[in-house]
């Protein structure tokens, strides 16, 4: 029997942020993990969450080291006529056991200089050890079409696996200045470096003699960089703080360094050596209002907007149009947090976040999907001395399953012309610990 030849598209396996927009991690400090809403902070984490607020920190040097561990699952429950009468579950596991971030700030009189290094996007590895329904369904439909139905699913075995790794490392630097007793401002930038790998294979073998019907393989490293300008404002009056931060869009293209490409059907052109794929980091607006009810009790309300629709992304499957065009709107996030000082040594805190991505069926795919969510964070701080603070936090995310129904027709489910359904689900748990030190 001749080898089956048809198109199977291997797309980018996108690792989503632990908290924040589609491509942005906002959980950069353990204070966020334990409280969520930190946009009105005047402590060391303000370097990321409220950069203009650094102008209100204690004078001198302050340093902070934070370590987080994130564990996620991303599952696809697929229904397709050739899979049989029961849905087929494809499990994906993602882990980032060590996500570090380092902060440093120095304030003198009205001036402050500050810096930050962390993983501001991606942040781990994701593995679908049994492949994904987009590959299996196309292989099975192709075999049926090209053999006239004489080769049935019980006559062959499909083996496939997909793995992805993505990190966007960020190094941020800026200045803050306190104009008077109430206002301060910030100007700075972040250098972003993307490092990733896409690996996968799909093979179909006849059970009778192990003759290959299809064999496709990919091993592709990817890299790129871009700069994010950042502006911030902070207003402080008695116990009230109003703050805003704006991060401009980061133009980011990732370039392929392809180690292996076995592509007899010519379906993996996007992964040829030297090809560039757009992967912009969207512009972000964060505004927050914090209030100190008593010297021991503080609370913050916050809003984030990520302008995803104007950030260039990889194209949708079977189209030259970027995935961002399929979104209904940019990402909206609503956050609230509270912290209470039990005494001079112990602080407890809690917070919550709601994330709405503006998803659509055309945006969602097996290899890159998101789910709207609620997140809850808990934790506290221990002041070991006037110079040393330990932060500990844990947050978990509750996702809403996303169901994508595709009717029969052209193209049908994954281009097979047949009907099908995918149910996307996710889980996320993050634990972190950090130390802040004032000189």
Q: Which two tokens stand for residue 3?
A: 């080898």
167 vs 267, higher pLDDT = 167
Q: Return d(Cα 438, Cα 276) in angstroms, integer.
A: 44
**What's the pLDDT score for residue 124?**
76
- Give, in degrees to the nearest 5, the angle at Cα 152 between 151 and 158: 95
Arithmetic mean of pLDDT, 210-220 = 92
Mean pLDDT for the chain?
92
Sequence ranges of the domains in the chain: 30-438
What digits encode the pLDDT tens for the residues 222-259? 999 999 999 999 999 999 999 999 999 999 999 999 99
Q: How many residues does the chain have?
A: 439
- Distance, in Å, from the CA atom of 308 to the CA atom of 323, rounded to the nearest integer, reads 10
- The arithmetic mean of pLDDT across residues 102-110, rounded, is 98
* pLDDT per position as a tens digit, 336-380: 999 999 999 999 999 999 999 999 999 999 888 999 999 999 999
- For residue 50, give Cα distances in angstroms to 177, 188, 231: 13, 12, 10
Average pLDDT over residues 142-147: 90
pLDDT of 86 higher than 90: yes
Provide φ and ψ at 311, rounded to 5°: -110, 125
pLDDT above 70: percentage of residues in the chain:
95
- Report the pLDDT value the prediction gives residue 396, as an integer from 0 to 100: 95
Separation between Cα atoms, residue 294 and residue 340, nearest integer Å? 9
30-438 CATH, one of 2.40.160.60, 3.40.50.970, 1.20.210.10, 2.130.10.10: 2.40.160.60
pLDDT above 70 for 284: yes
CA angle 413, 417, 419 (to 5 degrees): 50
Q: For position 18, what pLDDT does the model report?
A: 54
Are the C-beta atoms of 298 and 42 separated by less than 8 Å? no
d(CA 392, CA 321): 43
Each residue's pLDDT tens digit, 2-42: 455 444 444 445 544 456 677 778 889 999 999 999 999 99
Q: What is the mean pLDDT of residues 206-221?
A: 92
* Residue 320, C-beta contacts closer than 8 angstroms, at least 6 positions apart: none
pLDDT at 19: 66
Cα angle 208-209-215, degrees, rounded to a multiple of 5:
110
pLDDT in tens, 108-131: 999 999 999 999 987 678 899 999
């Amino acid at each position: 029997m001749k080898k089956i030849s048809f198109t199977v598209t291997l797309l980018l396996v996108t690792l989503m942020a632990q908290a924040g927009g589609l491509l942005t991690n906002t959980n950069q400090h353990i204070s966020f993990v334990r409280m969520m809403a930190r946009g009105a902070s005047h402590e060391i984490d303000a370097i990321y969450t409220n950069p203009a607020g650094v102008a209100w920190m204690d004078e001198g040097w302050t340093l902070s080291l934070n370590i987080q561990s994130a564990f996620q699952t991303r599952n696809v429950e697929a229904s397709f006529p050739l899979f049989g009468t029961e849905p087929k579950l494809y499990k994906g596991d993602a882990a980032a056991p060590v996500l570090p971030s380092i902060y440093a700030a120095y304030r003198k009189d009205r001036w402050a200089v500050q810096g930050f290094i962390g993983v501001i996007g991606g942040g781990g590895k994701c593995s679908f050890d049994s492949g994904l329904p987009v590959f299996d369904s196309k292989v099975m439909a192709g075999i049926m079409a090209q053999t006239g139905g004489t080769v049935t699913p019980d006559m062959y075995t499909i083996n496939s696996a997909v793995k992805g790794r993505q990190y966007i490392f960020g190094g941020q630097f800026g200045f803050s200045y306190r104009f008077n007793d109430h206002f301060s401002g910030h100007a700075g930038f972040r250098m972003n470096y993307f490092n990733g790998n896409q690996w996968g294979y799909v093979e179909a073998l006849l059970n009778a003699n192990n003759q290959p019907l299809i064999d496709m393989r990919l091993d592709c490293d990817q890299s790129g960089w871009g700069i994010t300008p950042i502006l911030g404002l902070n207003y402080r009056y008695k116990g009230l703080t109003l703050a805003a931060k704006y991060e401009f869009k980061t133009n980011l293209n990732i370039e392929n360094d392809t180690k292996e490409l076995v592509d007899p059907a010519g379906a993996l052109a996007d992964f040829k050596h030297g090809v560039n794929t757009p992967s912009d980091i969207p512009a972000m607006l964060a505004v927050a209002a914090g209030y100190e009810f008593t010297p021991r009790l503080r609370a913050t309300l916050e809003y984030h907007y990520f302008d995803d629709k104007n950030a260039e992304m990889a194209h949708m499957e079977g189209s030259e149009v970027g995935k961002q065009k399929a979104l209904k709107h940019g990402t909206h996030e609503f956050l609230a947090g509270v912290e209470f000082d039990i005494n001079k040594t112990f602080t407890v805190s809690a917070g919550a976040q709601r994330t709405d991505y503006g998803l659509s069926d055309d945006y969602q795919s097996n290899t890159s999907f998101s789910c709207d969510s609620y997140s809850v964070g808990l934790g506290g701080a221990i002041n070991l001395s006037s110079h040393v603070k330990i932060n500990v936090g844990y947050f978990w995310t509750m996702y809403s399953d996303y169901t994508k129904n595709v009717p029969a027709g052209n193209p049908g489910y994954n281009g097979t012309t047949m009907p099908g359904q995918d149910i996307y689900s996710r889980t996320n748990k993050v634990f972190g610990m950090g130390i802040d030190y004032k000189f």
